[in-house]
Amino acid sequence: MTMLTRNRKIGLAVALTGFVADQALKLLVTGPLGLVNNNDQIMLTSFFNLTRTSNYGVSMGLLRADSDLMRWVLVALTGGIAMVVGAWLLRERKLGDIVPLAMILGGALGNIVDRMRFGHVVDFADFHIGERHFYIFNLADALISLGVVIILARSLLIREKPIQDTAATPATEI
């Protein structure tokens, strides 16, 4: 097996693992833990609760799908984005570029499945400081966000050194 094939298989495994873990957590939260209705809550620590909410939008509630038509428009839009990310993943060669794309793909697929099944995305992770609550999210959202941050960090901080052809470069060049 070539290194490229190995890296792609690892990437697809990361995407599948992220997708399955996201769906399993949502099933746990809405099943055995009993967070069925919006605002059902389990207080776990002084800074983290499980709080069930239905997200009808994307990216912190933007582009709300208030109708069945908008729901399917968001499914198509996010599905198209997931296909682009999947194609991008298969074009990359370095594992450091493949893994964050796989995280984004796995998270996107998790949220797409929710939107198709329920008409909304199930969110439950509720970090807070005292009474100040931040956005409630799920594992898929965390995977997408972390994948984007890694891609941005790699693009800003890791530069490939240009290959210098010493035979073609004049010695007097400044």
- Catalytic residue list: 123, 141
Distance from C-alpha of 93 to C-alpha of 83, rounded to nearest angstrom: 18
Identify the CA nearest to 71 among candidates 56, 52, 55, 54. 56
Return left, alpha or beta for 153; rule: phi > 0 is left, psi -120 to 50 is alpha, else beta. alpha
SS3 56: coil
Whether 75 and 120 have beta carbons less than 8 Å apart is answered as no
Angle between helices 68-91 and 3-30 in degrees, nearest 10: 150
